[in-house]
């Protein structure tokens, strides 16, 4: 599966998945959205509800065939302050979610299948997406390269949940990490995720 990465300062990465069925992972920036052939897209998958990953959906007309998916536990944050929109000096984005996701769900893109891994911690409904054939992990704001982790001090964040979630990710065989922010990395990714786990444990707030 070929993946194109789009990124802008202060906004999340957007990934264009060149599978048989074209898919987008996260869509925070309208500028980026306008560069994409949106009429070809079958689905927009949101790793979580935060403004920097979703805001373009408020301002876009997607083709009627395209469906927006996100985890059910983050769908309730749409249009509320839990979207963290105030950090960006903007009102919370409003948009419609067509399909609510749960842990273990499969998203079939024809020649590639994405598995949904529910990874609460950064937000209650954060997800990662795993493509087993290319061993690709789209990690949203759960883990970042070089042992980075998502913050847990925003509404719904939980440092203990984040540790448990990252612990699950360490059980995967990952060749390429596509994080919500920062560069895509393909070097010793499993080791990088283990570093994230160590960092998350050290940053757990007291019970």
| Region binding Zn ion by CB under 5 A among candidate stretches 16-24, 107-115, 140-148, 171-179 | 140-148
> Cβ(97)–Cβ(68) under 8 Å?
yes
Q: Does 47 bind Zn ion (CB under 5 A)?
A: no
- What is the number of alpha carbons within 13 Å of residue 194 lying toward its C-beta? 6
Listed in sequence order, the DSSP H helices in 55-131 are 72-75
How near is the Cβ of 101 to Zn ion at its closest, in Å? 17
Binding residue (CB under 5 A) for Zn ion from 26, 52, 131, 161: 52
| Region binding Zn ion by CB under 5 A among candidate stretches 46-54, 67-75, 87-95, 130-138 | 46-54
Q: Does 12 bind Zn ion (CB under 5 A)?
A: yes
| Region binding Zn ion by CB under 5 A among candidate stretches 5-13, 32-40, 92-100, 189-197 | 5-13
Q: Which residues contact 87 (CB under 8 A, 6 or more apart)?
A: 51
How near is the Cβ of 40 to Zn ion at its closest, in Å? 25
- Interaction pattern, residues 153-192, with Zn ion; x per rule: CB under 5 A: ---------------------------x------------
Residue with tokens 């393909």: 186
Beta strands 136-140; 176-179: pairing state = parallel
Q: Does 50 bind Zn ion (CB under 5 A)?
A: yes
Q: Does 58 bind Zn ion (CB under 5 A)?
A: no
Of 130 and 156, the one with the shorter C-beta distance to Zn ion is: 156
Beta strands 127-131; 14-18: pairing state = unpaired
Q: Does 71 bind Zn ion (CB under 5 A)?
A: no
> Cβ(24)–Cβ(109) under 8 Å?
no
**Is the Cα dihedral 109, 113, 116, 117 positive or negative?**
negative
> Cβ(157)–Cβ(116) under 8 Å?
no
Q: How far apart are CA 58 and CA 143, in angstroms?
A: 26
Q: Does 141 bind Zn ion (CB under 5 A)?
A: yes
Q: Does 74 bind Zn ion (CB under 5 A)?
A: no
Contact set with Zn ion (CB under 5 A): 12, 50, 52, 141, 180
């Amino acid at each position: 599966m070929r993946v194109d990465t789009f990124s802008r300062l202060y906004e999340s990465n957007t990934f264009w998945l060149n599978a048989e069925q074209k898919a987008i992972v996260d869509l925070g920036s309208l500028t980026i959205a306008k560069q994409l052939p949106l009429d070809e897209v079958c689905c927009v998958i949101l790793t979580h509800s935060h403004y920097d990953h979703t805001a373009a959906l408020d301002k876009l007309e997607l083709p009627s065939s395209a469906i927006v998916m996100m985890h059910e536990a983050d769908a309730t944050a749409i249009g509320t302050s839990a979207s963290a929109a105030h950090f960006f000096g903007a009102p919370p984005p409003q948009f419609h979610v067509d399909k609510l996701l749960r842990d273990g769900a499969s998203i079939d893109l024809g020649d590639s299948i994405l598995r949904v891994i529910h990874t609460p911690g950064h937000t209650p409904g954060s997800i990662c997406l795993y493509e087993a054939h290319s061993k690709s992990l789209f990690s949203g704001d759960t883990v970042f390269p070089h042992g980075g982790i998502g913050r847990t001090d925003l509404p719904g964040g939980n440092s203990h949940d984040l540790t448990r979630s990252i612990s699950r990710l360490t059980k995967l065989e990952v060749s390429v990490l596509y994080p919500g922010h920062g560069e895509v990395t393909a070097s010793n990714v499993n080791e990088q995720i283990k570093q994230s786990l160590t960092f998350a444990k050290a940053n757990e707030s007291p019970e």
